[in-house]
């Protein structure tokens, strides 16, 4: 009787936290949020594919195939529009937001189920609370971008891989767990090209941990290695299968082997401003620079005063930079000749300090993306430290920054305490993503949203009592 009462009490608490999470997301949907240009691009790509049979962006009457975006999110957007716009012409996006809300809630439940199986009841409840109350994942439920569904895919992949590894640990094979993990990796990759990191994390984790289980005298048996190879083969077959049609289409349309999408938003044959991008990597760190320089290219002026002092190594270099920026401002475009001059300036700055270019600035960019208050999601001023101009927004940004920092600190505490299950797999994903983000020139905090499923699990592991694995998710 006492056990039944405890179970009922726990179930009520879980339902309460889920209700709170749902209410938070519905409130955010009701409040107008940011509208990103990428949403329109995704929608046009999907709309053209469904209605005109070509996956591309129209230029007047000319509709040519494109390769610069993966088809996952465009198809989701266009399908939602097709299904609901006739009933709700001006509000069909709200249906998308509701679907993303449900996906975000499901992600939290998957993380709680993982924590319950591999940690404890207490850890599961903490993971659920952290997931339901996370304002950052909640905010992306009402934005027409890939982040919300990417977080869901990662959560599903972690849960499914945990199932498969638990079965291997018991001497069996959870084929459905491997298939589910493969589906999660495929979804993540079809949403964003960096989603392939989830495939690498899960595949590597399944191979490594399955091969090391039941080792005798620290030696790996051929039977165990064969079991690990079979498991990762099932996973990879499912994960890679949805990419095959996309890869074949790209080969037929462009004669290039492109299973993902190009790093820069371009189709084959289009020139990329590589010199300008490299120049930005010699000084850009903050999200502010992305807003005032990177996003201005092609449309708006660049103000030389928006560049930080580290963008110049000497007065002569500052004057040279001013001339390049002035040349850009004349046409709001970067010609091949101007891009070459940016490349020459970048080479000069790289030679001046290899350590700055290859280590110091990349580390600072990753830290900025990870720890900066997530002002974009709540439409706060990017220069959040400018208290004299917008003290209210600055105060809210600091509050959000403290929450963001708390998730990171608690997660580090969980890893340091050695309580995170499959720590090399989960921590390896964060490391891989940091290495990838270190190579970009446009610091954007949204690129680290994919950390949150792992931060939530690690924080729950650190805060909960000693693990008692073996519980089945309910």
The enclosing H or E element of 354 equals helix 354-355
Angle, in degrees to the nearest 10, between helices 423-437 and 361-371: 120
* Of 8 and 312, more confident: 312
Residue 332 gets the label, from left (phi > 0), alpha (psi -120 to 50) or beta, of left
Percent of the chain whose pLDDT exceeds 70: 95
- Looking at residue 472, the DSSP 8-state letter turns out to be P
* pLDDT at residue 472, as a whole number: 54
Q: Are 471 and 119 in contact (CB under 8 A)?
A: no
Side-chain half-sphere CA neighbours of 258 within 13 A: 21
The enclosing H or E element of 153 equals helix 147-169
Q: Are 90 and 432 in contact (CB under 8 A)?
A: no
How many residues are listed for the chain in this entry? 474
Split at pLDDT 50, 70, 90, the class of 467 is low
* Of 88 and 246, more confident: 246
* pLDDT at residue 5, as a whole number: 57
* Cα–Cα distances in angstroms (integers) from residue 16 to residues 107, 123, 128, 359, in the given order: 17, 17, 11, 46
List the chain domain ranges.
146-262, 274-352, 368-466
Both structure tokens of 396: 């809210």
Please give the backbone phi and psi of residue 440, each rounded to the nearest 5 degrees, phi first: -90, 160
Q: Which residues pair with 51 in a beta bridge?
A: none
pLDDT digits (tens, 9 = 90+) for 213-269: 755 545 656 777 888 899 999 999 999 999 999 999 999 999 999 999 998 888 888
Please compute the mean of the pLDDT values over residues 189-214 and round it to a whole number.
91
pLDDT digits (tens, 9 = 90+) for 312-369: 999 999 999 999 999 999 989 999 999 999 999 999 999 999 999 999 999 999 999 9
Please compute the mean of the pLDDT values over residues 379-401 and round it to a whole number.
86
Inform me whether the pLDDT recorded for 129 exceeds 90: yes
Please give the backbone phi and psi of residue 58, each rounded to the nearest 5 degrees, phi first: -80, 140
* pLDDT at residue 390, as a whole number: 79
Split at pLDDT 50, 70, 90, the class of 412 is very high
* pLDDT at residue 4, as a whole number: 57
């Amino acid at each position: 009787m006492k056990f039944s009462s405890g179970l009922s009490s726990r179930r009520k608490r879980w339902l309460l936290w889920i209700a709170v999470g749902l209410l938070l997301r519905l409130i955010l949907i009701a409040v107008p949020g940011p509208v990103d240009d990428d949403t329109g691009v995704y929608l046009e790509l999907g709309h053209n594919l469904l209605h005109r049979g070509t996956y591309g962006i129209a230029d007047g009457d000319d509709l040519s195939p494109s390769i610069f975006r993966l088809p996952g999110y465009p198809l989701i957007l266009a399908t939602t529009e097709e299904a609901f716009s006739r009933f709700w012409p001006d509000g069909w996006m709200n249906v998308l937001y509701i679907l993303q809300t449900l996906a975000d809630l499901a992600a939290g439940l998957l993380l709680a189920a993982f924590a319950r199986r591999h940690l404890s009841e207490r850890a599961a409840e903490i993971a659920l609370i952290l997931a339901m109350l996370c304002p950052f994942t909640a905010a992306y439920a009402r934005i027409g971008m890939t982040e919300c569904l990417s977080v869901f895919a990662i959560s599903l992949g972690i849960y499914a891989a945990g199932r498969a590894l638990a079965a291997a640990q018991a001497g069996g094979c959870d084929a459905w767990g491997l298939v589910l993990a493969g589906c999660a990796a495929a979804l993540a990759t079809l949403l964003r090209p960096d989603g392939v990191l989830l495939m690498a994390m899960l595949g590597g984790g399944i191979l490594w941990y399955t091969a090391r289980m039941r080792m005798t005298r620290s030696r790996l048996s051929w039977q165990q290695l064969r079991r690990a190879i079979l498991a990762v083969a099932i996973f990879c077959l499912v994960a890679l299968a949805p990419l095959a049609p996309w890869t074949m289409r790209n080969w037929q349309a462009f004669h290039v082997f492109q299973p993902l999408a190009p790093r820069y938003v371009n189709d084959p044959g289009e020139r990329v401003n590589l010199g300008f991008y490299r120049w930005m990597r010699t000084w850009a760190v903050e999200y502010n620079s992305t807003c005032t320089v990177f996003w201005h290219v092609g449309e708006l002026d660049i103000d030389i005063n928006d560049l930080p002092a580290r963008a110049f190594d000497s007065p002569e270099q500052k004057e040279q930079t001013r001339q390049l920026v002035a040349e850009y401002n004349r046409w709001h475009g970067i010609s091949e000749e101007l891009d070459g001059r940016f490349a020459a300036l970048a080479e000069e700055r790289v030679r001046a300090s290899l350590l700055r270019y290859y280590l110091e600035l990349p580390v600072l960019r990753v830290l900025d993306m990870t720890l900066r208050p997530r002002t974009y999601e709540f439409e706060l001023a990017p220069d959040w430290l400018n208290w004299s101009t917008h003290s209210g927004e600055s105060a809210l940004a600091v509050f959000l920054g403290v929450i963001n920092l708390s998730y990171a600190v608690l997660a580090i505490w969980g890893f340091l305490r050695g309580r995170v299950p499959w720590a090399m797999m989960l921590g390896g994903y964060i490391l891989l993503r940091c290495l990838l983000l270190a190579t970009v020139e446009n610091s954007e905090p949204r690129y680290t949203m994919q950390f949150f499923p792992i931060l939530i699990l690690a924080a729950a592991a650190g805060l909960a009592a000693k693990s008692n694995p073996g519980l089945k998710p309910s």
